[in-house]
Structure 1
Amino acid sequence: MGLTIGIDVGGTKIAAGVVGTDGQIGARSHRDTPAGSVDETAKAICDAAAELIAGHDIEAIGIGAAGFVSSDRSTVLFAPNLAWRDEPLGARVQETLGLPVVVENDANAAAWGEFAFGAAKDVEHMVCLTVGTGIGGGVVIDGELLRGEHGVAAELGHMRVVPGGHRCGCGARGCWEQYASGNALVREGRAQAESGSLAAAQMLGVCGISDPAELSGPMITKAAAAGDACAIELLDDLGRWVGEGLASIATLFDPSLIVLGGGVSAAGDLVLKPAKRAFERVLPAKQNRPHPGFGLALLGNDAGLIGAADLARRH
């Protein structure tokens, strides 16, 4: 199969691209996401794809969407930031455009992109953890994407790590993403600043702000890169949470490689090193088992688009 289209549906933007068999993106198109309307969102997806179809010989379309996707890779069962509830998205787009359509969870699509063309292209067993506003993830075992009986496997961010802990957007308490995500990083940074900590006040100064409410994850990362002690400590603590959670993930899936992606991965070794230290410290039976490698994702924001296109090709 030749060219396919990958579409990454976000809460504010729909990004589409023509992807070749080598994983390279040719032409691109974009649309705003009308998140409050099921019909308008489907139309925007079709419009973005149709723009690309007009100039290329396209054989299939892959859509990466945040939320639960059915085992037949067609229906979005639930999306936290869009109006989809049991939405037959694949069938709607296929009917409009006349091409085969595959729908996949966006984190799964990103993981597959890294597996097929990115940091994990030379392994058969991998875990990809995307650490952004929350935590997403994908697992590949024996070269196959793990989807589970109902298509909703590998929701890694909702593994419970603190019984009775912070309330999560999923409704549960103590989910991993409440402690190892961009939101958690910002929450802790603001809490330190609001407590009157002199170190946190200095961090705000490095960030060029005075109001803790203005603090963001990229600001903390930038301050840490500049050597600010408070920001470095915040990222070190985030890395510890990431590493400890990954130790549990490794006992489940025994990957040969763990890939870290998402916005927080922009901090590089400031998160990766403490994550690896924590992982090595708490991994069960660590003296008697092989340890996976760690790496940073290579495809950036294009991973989901590239992965969705390749899944459509293979499907």
Structure 2
Amino acid sequence: MTLAIGVDIGGTKIAAGLVSETGQILDSVEEPTPEDASAIPVAVADLVERLTGEQDAVGIGIGAAGFVGEDRQTVRFAPNIDWREEPLGQRVQSLVKLPVVVENDANAAAWGEFSFGAGEDTDDDLLLITVGTGIGGGIVHHGQLYRGGFGVAAEIGHMRIVPDGILCGCGQRGCYEQYGSGSALVRDARERVLNEDPRAGAIAALGGGDPSRITGQELTKLAKDGDPLAVELLTELGRWIGEGAAVLATILDPSVIAIGGGVAAAGDLVLASVVEAFETHLPARAHRPQASLRLATLGNEAGIIGAADLARVEPV
């Protein structure tokens, strides 16, 4: 059995897994992300050492949020970690003495879903839309991960869908993630409470009655319990996701579009409205094959599984 290590570096924790060639996580460990970014390679090396033990791994795949250079070693920019032109792969490799591949975290998740999850039944094209705090994406084209000319393709959350719309953290206005993300869902719910919407009683009670403490998970649970306004908000979120997916399908023409990230936990509450909006806004829908829209299946493990497999099948 050929084993590889997958590592997912987030703003609050680093998770790692020992992954088989069939995409199974055989063992996993995690620890908090050091506040000092310079200590992260040491933390990764420690996790790798704890996982390998007597096991032999062929390489390490690291998924990190941010722009990863075409060398698949350098994090050019990370939004939540103080990295600018950080030679992450080289630093980790110097400590663990194993080949290291660095990949954008959403790209790694897309590869995981393509190889072992929602796209396992296709050998061609897949688009993953990850919906969490923001929106991320990954593209598999003709069975290969598409990185673009400079390694930073598929930053779909910053596709502009509303001219002169809501200001985004990237500095532009009207970005996809300002309307179709978990943060957008929470923002809209809080606004309903602050504007004293008469239907917002159950939502107002979330977070101990403090609107600033309302979370997407709580809203999703409330919607599953049948609260009409929570259902409406989830439906509206799905509409935005679907409209953006239709634009992306017009450009990329994928055979599968998988919806992942935290919002996927809402299941059909979101997916039904995603599909409806997608079909409504897909140009010339009656005259073209249509992508299969489905929920991602690997959950939070997609990045670890995908990163490990990339280290195995696409070594630097």
TM-score (norm 2): 0.97
Matched residues in 2 for 1:202 and 1:62: separation? 43
Cα distance in 2 for partners of 1:223, 1:39 equals 41
In structure 1, what is the Cα distance between the partners aligned to 2:186 and 2:267? 17
Q: Please list every run of 5 or more consecutive structure 1 residues that lacks an aligned counterpart in the other structure.
A: none
Aligned to 2:26: 26
Moved more, 105-114 or 278-287: 278-287
Q: Match for 2:116: what amino acid?
A: F
Q: How many residues matched?
A: 313
Q: 1:66 Cα deviation (Å)?
A: 0.3
How far has the Cα of 1:142 moved from its partner?
0.5
SS at match of 2:294: strand
Unaligned runs of 5+ in 2: none
Return closer, same or farther for 1:39/1:167 CA change in 2, 3 Å cut-off. same
Structure 2 CA distance for aligned equivalents of residues 211 and 92 of structure 1? 43
Q: Does 1:146 align with 2:146?
A: yes
Identify the residue that residue 127 of structure 1 maps to in structure 2. 127
**1:29-55 Cα deviation digits (max 9, x unpaired):** 2121014x2321111111111212223
**1:92-146 deviations in Å (ceiling 9; x for gaps):** 1111111100000000000100000001011111111110010011011100111
Q: Which moved more, 1:278-287 or 1:305-314?
A: 278-287
Quote the Cα distance in structure 1 between the aligned partners of 2:128 and 2:204. 32
Q: Which secondary structure state, in structure 1, belongs to the residue aligned with residue 102 of structure 2?
A: strand
Q: Counterparts of 1:209 and 1:83 in 2: how far apart (Å)? A: 33
Counterpart for residue 243 of structure 2: 244
State the shift of 1:208 in Å: 7.0
Superposition map of 1:1-315 within 5 A: 2-35=2-35, 37-123=36-122, 124-205=124-205, 207=206, 209-315=208-314
Aligned AA (1:97): V
d(CA) in 2 for partners of 1:72, 1:243: 33
Cα deviation code 1:251-274 (max 9, x no counterpart): 111111110010001001111001
Provide the rounded CA distance (Å) in 2 between the counterparts of 1:277 and 1:22: 34
Q: 1:248 deviation in Å?
A: 0.3
Give 2:281's aligned amino acid: V
Residue aligned with 1:127, SS: strand
- RMSD of Structure 2 on Structure 1 (CA): 1.1
- How many angstroms apart in 2 are the aligned matches of 1:120 and 1:141? 12
Q: C-alpha separation between the residues in 2 aligned to 1:185 and 1:69?
A: 28
Deviation beyond 3 Å, 4+ runs, structure 1: none
- Give the alignment's TM-score, normalised by structure 1: 0.97
SS of residue paired to 2:257: strand
One-letter identity of the residue aligned with 2:95? T
